[in-house]
Structure 1
Amino acid sequence: MWRALNGRELKAEGLRLATLFAYDALLRPATASNAVAAYAYAYANDRLGTATNETVTLGGTVATLARGMDNRHRLAELRSGGAAPVHYAYDTENRYSAVSNTAFCATYAYTTDNQDEGYSIMLPNGTVLARSVIRDWRRRHLVTVITNSVNGAALQRLGYTHDILDRVTRRNTGTFDYNIRSEVISAVIQPTHTNRYAYDNIGNALWASLNSDTSTCAVSELFDAHGLLR
């Protein structure tokens, strides 16, 4: 339960411990505190209402989080205490184009229709980890190929085939089948796994098999035929 103390404070009650929230003149969060180990949470807001600095005090320990904004008021830097900052960059379409700190630099790629096209990560030793994505040319939300590589050498390739209902029917040599409710009834993952599944009329699992091992499931009598709790 919330109880208003005045125009700038709220008190959360109904729990064993009450938490007090205070707000500044523009009704932005300023502090949150309770009686646990002198817990306190303080905010510093800029003129546009973004919390640029946050300070948490717990049992005498103080932790800080600072945000730096660019000239378009986008997050440009994130710093936690004395740790090295994380920097953010954007492309001309206002999308994340890079995230970096002293340990890595990740760059992101997009298709002309604003879909994810993959990313690359450069490590301090110069190693580049990359992931590329190819999409269906008509159904752009469907991924057809994912390639993971190291220093330009492809180490893993995943190819996907979809049916007219956008369900994955093949991944590399593995195949998947569905019932009329689009529940997976078969997953054959070459060369080691053949999985089968069965369901009742409202989607409850009846049994599942992994190769020669079968597990059966019992529907709880606490639910009726429509899946509603009695």
Structure 2
Amino acid sequence: MDLGLAGKKAIITGASRGIGRAIAETLGSEGAAVAICARHEDGLLSAATDMRARGITVHTQVLDVSDESAVAAFVDWAAGVLGGLDIVVSNVSAGASVDPQFWSVSFAADLMAFVRLVEAATPHLEKSDCASILAIASTSGFDALPPARANSYAAFKAAVIQHASSLGHSLPAKGIRVNTISPGPIFFEGGPWDLRMQSDPESTIAIRDRIPMGRFGSPTDVANLAAFLSSPAAAYLTATNMVVDGGFTSRIHF
């Protein structure tokens, strides 16, 4: 199946590793040119080197998405070097912490970064004939798990899901689709589930064993769906929250 991504131009935030990197690699392997950002230059350069070795056109910029003016500047820069913009993927999270002050950090990185990214990208996306915005949220946004340290993470992922749903109804008037992916437990080296496995293997294995598919998800599991949702092949999909969790959450998703 040809997803129709060849020649498309995409922004992916938080793309130096994990889910974001996998999405950038998958879009690139389908023929899209990508502009990626992250906070740390080393990870960006490593990701870009690997992608270029595979023939993917990739541009990089170090970015703190909690910086409002920097987000707008990054989007304008990316649209310039790419020659336009068709796809925007918001994939940044501050993670979780028990510190009450972390709520403000999470608010800026998990929610407002998405809000500002959409605001900055919309004028560019309006010029595309197949524009798509995709937010990476979490099953924690509707099915929160202990410990309490995840409260801020869950709250703002819920807000992202709701905001994306609202945008998915309003922005099609401008030719822009908006959807969300909510991953369940996704395992990658250096990621939160890897760190949890190292610090508390017993409870982490217990969670893994609750997943009907019998394993943690991989970044590629999310990236494959992200490529479809971002593509012209999904032209009639908007305001949808797609769950990728191996059956981990027990509810009807709609």
- The TM-score normalised by the length of structure 2 is 0.23
Report 1 or 2 for greater relative contact order, CA contacts < 8 Å, sequence distance ≥ 6. Answer: 2
Higher fraction of strand = 1
| Structure having the larger proportion of residues in helix | 2
TM-score by length of 1: 0.25
Higher CA-based Rg: 1
